[in-house]
Structure 1
Amino acid sequence: MTSEKRPGSEDTPGDAEESENWIGPMPSEATKPKPKKRKVLEFESLYIENLPSSETYEHSYMHRDVVTHVVVTKTDFIITVSQDGHLKFWKKQDEGIEFVKHFRCHLAPIADVAANSTGSLLCTISSEKTVKVFDVVNFDMINMMTIEFEPYRVEWKPVVTMKYNPVFEAAVSVDKAGIVEYWTGPKHEYCFPKNVRFESKLDTDLFDFVKNKTYPTGLAFSPDGKKMASISLDRKVRVFHFATGKLHKVLDESLQRFQELQHQTQQLPNMEFGRRMAAERDLEKSDSVHLANVLFDASGHFVVYATMLGVKIVNLTTNRCVAMLGKPENLRPLHLALFQVRNGRKNNLFHDNGHFVVYATMLGVKIVNLTTNRCVAMLGKPENLRPLHLALFQAIIHTSVGDVHVRLFGKDVPRSAENFSVHARNGYYNGHIFHRVIKGFMVQTGDPTAIHQQLIHA
């Protein structure tokens, strides 16, 4: 029997070299961050098609005084309110809206307007300490109450916004200190809701308003009740998970952010941008800043809110702005309402022939403007548009007291019609006044300050 010594590792230099090699990924590869997978919202194009997309507003509807609130109900009614205490009911039609009834409901300015989740009731409150309830479908006032409230603790702050979440059967209120509270109704004796996933607000991000020394002017809930969006005085849109109170997303719409954006990529001509910045600073000093609100669309994937550049529609999944409504307009939208028709088909979220409208009140203006998913003077879907050259023979001049419909005689005076159209598209006439009005004969505008001599009598 012979014994042979097994050759050790030192006898095989090739194996020694292999033992020095790493098995698996190198340490440098392990430290490299993995590329983030880009988030994609399924059927995004369908959702966008069912939202307003026109850059300019299509129609204006008159009020006696400056319009402060606009509400769209599930019963296809639009309610508008002006600061003189007057309220108007409108009914959505296939083309536009039809005036229904006018109420002189309060002697003082209306502080807030709210419709219930089914769209059958509407409530208004006024600084004259009265509350009035309306039957929306029958457009009639059914109740009236007088209230008296005097704070008796200095720690208390007045409630500035309140919204009801019908899915969770809970209400959310926020006071001027930025404190957020969850409430239930009489069914649960107005206690803290038990169907949320936190017991202490210290476990949530609901103190974010307090930390930033601000408070929201508007709240909104997604159709499934799982998300809560707010727009606040610091010009940020915050989206929370309602059940956990955790922040989902913060959208910064501050003036500093717009200035940086203007320097990076010019959004507006410098003169127009400076004018809008000055208007925004004036807005911050006025009470109208409290009229700003935020909305969810019918899918719950998009939020809609007003900025100095227009009405933004933002995809919460991709964090991308998919539409900017009213950007060329020189009017500042404030309070919004979104109408998305289903054409009587309850089993479909959207319909192929749907008409989708954003109704907006404007700063210091006595009209309600609407922006749609259609081109101006268009009937039906985009594929049913009349030839483009026909649209060049008519125009709508949006003024501070309503719309002026004019006809352009392109065949008779083509140069004049082209001159007017090009200047209008470039925004040259924005902000001008009608410096001469002769009833039944003519109006003049263009350049009343005589900066451009060739346009004095434009």
Structure 2
Amino acid sequence: MSENNENEEQLNKKRETSTSNDEDVDKINNKKLKSKTKELPFEQLYLDRLPNSLMYEKSFMHKDICTFIAVSKSDFIVSTDILGYVKFWKKQPIGIEFVKTFKSHVGPVSSLSISFDGQLLCTVGFDKNVRIFDIKNFDLINSFKVPFLPLTCEWVYGVNSSKTLIAISSRESSIINLYDSKSDDTSGKPLHIVELHNKSVHLIKFNQQFQSVISCDIGGSVEYWDIEEPFDQPTNVNFQMKLETDLYDFEKQSTLPISLEISGDGKYLSTMGRDKKIRIFNYKSGKLYRVYDESFAVLQQIQKTEDPIYHLDYADFGRRLAIEKEIDTMYDQFLNNITSKQSPPLNSILFDESNNFLIYSTLVGIKFVNIKTNKVVRVLGKIENSTRFLGLSLYQGKNEGDVTLGTKKRDTENDPTLFCLSFKKQRFYMFTRREPEDNDNPDYGRDVFNEKVTKDEQLLIQNAQRQLPRNAIIHTSLGDIHIMLYPDECPKTVENFTTHSKNNYYNGVIFHRVIKGFMIQTGDPQGTGYGGDSIWKKEFEDEFNRNLRHDRPFTLSMANAGPNTNGSQFFITTVPVTRLDNKHTVFGRVYKGTEVVTAIEKSKTDQDDKPLNDISILNIKITQDVPLEFQNKKI
């Protein structure tokens, strides 16, 4: 273990040792290995047309938790939330522009679908309403109510179809109902019904190339059907009976697909299973082409390997695993009571425009897998350890902008963007080929506050910011350390620290760990590195800010035992330690008394890095503001 890693472990309240890396997909995940290694010609050209930023560049708000996001071929993005709002966004040469909001449903949007040509949008909700939108004109063009609780919807018409049919399944039966989206009939009576399943259908996808549909029910049954009456099995596939295919695999394994996607050329069908396995089928034959295992057992095995691509701290892996189990519980609740007004978190899987890469979200991050070579070529968002990305949608077009919006540009370059939802978050996120910008003004950060805040909420925020102190003086047995605090960027951390200080919690507490060329650590009343509670008597979440980094010495930061495990312990760095960014919350800087920090750093220590002679905090004085002469000083 390197000295840097040893030093970083010293910041953890619990000294737990672990190895957490991954093996190649070929070694663990892929179940259909070829003896000869394959290569994809021009692979780098394809990769250059895909997002590659390790962190999301921007995020935008909804009024509440987001439920769906989708990209149309007409360069529009549609997002929805649990309050029934539908938002339209327009792709620009760089980034996106907001266009319009609709209050489409009373309650959550339970499903949405964009037509293959990018012209039409359908949303269905728990209020039983069906809304049809003209995407290019972002206009509601039809609306009707159905006599059942809708489960999912999908456009099922082709270029030569006489009607623009929308398929809507029911939570209350196994029937798939087909409606003419342009009909004036508002009775809710379907134009056709498809009866191929024995249980409610939760996934439907239209294969434009084969002019056919594939549907899956909650029992694991998978069916192909034609888009024209009598909706029989398509004639352009290479099997006559399902027994000739691998489509029974879900029922054999007592599982079901929870996500479904068809490649742009129509050749492949990919699914994400309830058993955490990614299955890719040859659409025409129905035979399995690839299987990638993302189950908990495999993930735990991966953590024992030495590939740094997937390396996670022991505590970080445990926290992420807990979120996965919470997602599984929500899906169990959905399956056990499908007629209830709830939907499980959306997890999607998709192909890129070349149909060579499969993109899906996992516990570790968003994986890009080359399905020709069976290699993970890219992992995005791993560093975003407080965000579990779920629903995905990919934009790979080239947009020249809009004259009316003043964004028209010539000779624009491709701006591939991966749009993502996140578990229990009211934002959607954008991964591009640009990392987030460093910005000294937090009002212009990557998380855009595009939703209006009420006057009462704004007043509460302003009052809270005014009430939180910005100055602390740590009186130690070796001298005073003056610290500027950042309540605007990390209010909860500052509140915890200043409240403890005012309550004399830190009085007499020793610096229990001192490492030359790294940091000095304190804040544990037990003096062992294993103790200390927050003011709420429980661990609290991290508050990372891109403008507050461990990029200079004399930075005040929280010690922890992994993500979102902050208590009372803190440390002050003595050198730049950027590897701690996005792992520990920076909430202050030393503006006076740096020589005291240096003196503590130089003290003699034992083999556990504890000073031989105790150095203690006498008390911490908290005041509202930093002295004027230091307020504008860059520290």
| TM score, norm. by length of structure 1 | 0.76
State the alpha-carbon separation in 2 of the partners of residues 125 and 160 from structure 1: 13
Shift of 1:191: 1.9
Q: Is the 8 A contact 1:365 1:401 kept in 2?
A: no
> For residue 428 of structure 1, what is the aligned residue in structure 2?
583
Q: Which amino acid aligns with 1:64?
A: K
1:250 corresponds to 2:288:
no
State the alpha-carbon separation in 1 of the partners of residues 546 and 317 from structure 2: 29
> For residue 277 of structure 1, what is the aligned residue in structure 2?
321
1:293 corresponds to 2:348:
yes
Q: Is the 8 A contact 1:367 1:401 kept in 2?
A: no
Shift of 1:328: 0.6
Q: 1:93 to 1:237 in 2, by over 3 A?
A: same
Q: Which amino acid aligns with 2:327?
A: L
- After TM superposition, the structure 1 = structure 2 runs for residues 387-398 of structure 1, keeping only pairs within 5 Å, are none
Q: 1:366 to 1:422 in 2, by over 3 A?
A: farther
Q: Pick from 370, 376, 382 the counterpart of residue 436 of structure 2.
A: 376
3-state SS of the aligned residue for 1:276? helix
Q: 1:392 to 1:59 in 2, by over 3 A?
A: closer
Write out per-residue CA displacement over residues 8-67 of structure 1, whole angstroms, 9 at most, x where no aligned residue. Answer: xxxxxxxxxxxxxxxxxxxxxxxxxxx932111111111111111111111110100000
Q: Is the 8 A contact 2:269 2:280 kept in 1?
A: yes
Q: Pick from 201, 210, 217 the counterpart of residue 175 of structure 1.
A: 217
Q: Is the 8 A contact 1:58 1:370 kept in 2?
A: yes
State the alpha-carbon separation in 2 of the partners of residues 231 and 200 from structure 1: 23
Q: Pick from 204, 222, 226 the counterpart of residue 267 of structure 2.
A: 226
> For residue 29 of structure 1, what is the aligned residue in structure 2?
none
Range that drifts further, 321-330 or 368-377: 368-377
Q: Is the 8 A contact 1:302 1:313 kept in 2?
A: yes
Write out per-residue CA displacement over residues 342-395 of structure 1, whole angstroms, 9 at most, x where no aligned residue. Answer: 357xxxxxx993111110000011101111122333xxxxxxxxxxxxx59788
State the alpha-carbon separation in 1 of the partners of residues 99 and 413 from structure 2: 25
> For residue 236 of structure 2, what is the aligned residue in structure 1?
195
Q: 1:261 to 1:99 in 2, by over 3 A?
A: same
RMSD of aligned residue pairs (Cα, Å): 3.3
Range that drifts further, 263-272 or 126-135: 263-272
3-state SS of the aligned residue for 2:303? helix
State the alpha-carbon separation in 2 of the partners of residues 247 and 264 from structure 1: 28
- After TM superposition, the structure 1 = structure 2 runs for residues 329-340 of structure 1, keeping only pairs within 5 Å, are 329-330=384-385, 331-340=387-396
Q: 1:421 to 1:58 in 2, by over 3 A?
A: farther
Q: Which amino acid aligns with 2:201?
A: V
Q: 1:264 to 1:71 in 2, by over 3 A?
A: same
User: Looking at CA atoms only, which structure, 1 or 2, has the larger radius of gyration?
Assistant: 1
Range that drifts further, 393-402 or 251-260: 393-402
Write out per-residue CA displacement over residues 114-133 of structure 1, whole angstroms, 9 at most, x where no aligned residue. Answer: 10101000111112222111
3-state SS of the aligned residue for 2:250? helix
State the alpha-carbon separation in 2 of the partners of residues 231 and 369 from structure 1: 21
% of aligned pairs identical? 37
State the alpha-carbon separation in 1 of the partners of residues 147 and 361 from structure 2: 34
Q: 1:174 to 1:52 in 2, by over 3 A?
A: same
1:241 corresponds to 2:241:
no
Write out per-residue CA displacement over residues 188-224 of structure 1, whole angstroms, 9 at most, x where no aligned residue. Answer: 4322111111010000000111111111122111111
Q: Which amino acid aligns with 1:276?
A: R
Write out per-residue CA displacement over residues 288-309 of structure 1, whole angstroms, 9 at most, x where no aligned residue. Answer: 6551111000000001110011
Q: 1:135 to 1:171 in 2, by over 3 A?
A: same
Q: 1:286 to 1:256 in 2, by over 3 A?
A: same
Q: Is the 8 A contact 1:237 1:251 kept in 2?
A: yes
Shift of 1:151: 3.2
State the alpha-carbon separation in 2 of the partners of residues 215 and 76 from structure 1: 33
Q: Which amino acid aligns with 2:312?
A: L
Q: Is the 8 A contact 2:58 2:448 kept in 1?
A: no
State the alpha-carbon separation in 1 of the partners of residues 274 and 78 from structure 2: 25
Q: Is the 8 A contact 2:396 2:416 kept in 1?
A: yes
> For residue 380 of structure 2, what is the aligned residue in structure 1?
325
Shift of 1:152: 8.6
State the alpha-carbon separation in 2 of the partners of residues 426 and 109 from structure 1: 36
State the alpha-carbon separation in 2 of the partners of residues 142 and 167 from structure 1: 27
Write out per-residue CA displacement over residues 388-441 of structure 1, whole angstroms, 9 at most, x where no aligned residue. Answer: xxx597888777989978757999x875499697467543237x9x99xxxxxx
Q: 1:142 to 1:425 in 2, by over 3 A?
A: farther
Moved over 4 A (4+): 287-290, 391-411, 413-421
1:147 corresponds to 2:302:
no
Q: 1:339 to 1:234 in 2, by over 3 A?
A: same
- After TM superposition, the structure 1 = structure 2 runs for residues 406-425 of structure 1, keeping only pairs within 5 Å, are 415-416=554-555, 422=577, 425=580
Q: Is the 8 A contact 2:261 2:270 kept in 1?
A: yes
Count of matched residue positions in the alignment of Structure 1 and Structure 2: 382
Q: Pick from 245, 248, 255 the counterpart of residue 214 of structure 1.
A: 255
- After TM superposition, the structure 1 = structure 2 runs for residues 360-375 of structure 1, keeping only pairs within 5 Å, are 360-375=420-435
| TM score, norm. by length of structure 2 | 0.56
State the alpha-carbon separation in 2 of the partners of residues 314 and 374 from structure 1: 21
Q: Which amino acid aligns with 1:338?
A: L
> For residue 156 of structure 1, what is the aligned residue in structure 2?
198
Q: Which amino acid aligns with 1:336?
A: L
Q: 1:68 to 1:426 in 2, by over 3 A?
A: same
Q: What runs of 5+ residues in structure 2 fail to find an aligned partner?
A: 1-33, 149-171, 176-196, 332-342, 401-410, 451-487, 490-544, 557-571, 589-615, 623-634
Shift of 1:185: 1.4
State the alpha-carbon separation in 2 of the partners of residues 289 and 316 from structure 1: 28
> For residue 449 of structure 1, what is the aligned residue in structure 2?
none
Q: Which amino acid aligns with 1:163?
A: K
> For residue 207 of structure 2, what is the aligned residue in structure 1?
165
3-state SS of the aligned residue for 2:304? helix
Q: Is the 8 A contact 1:302 1:315 kept in 2?
A: yes
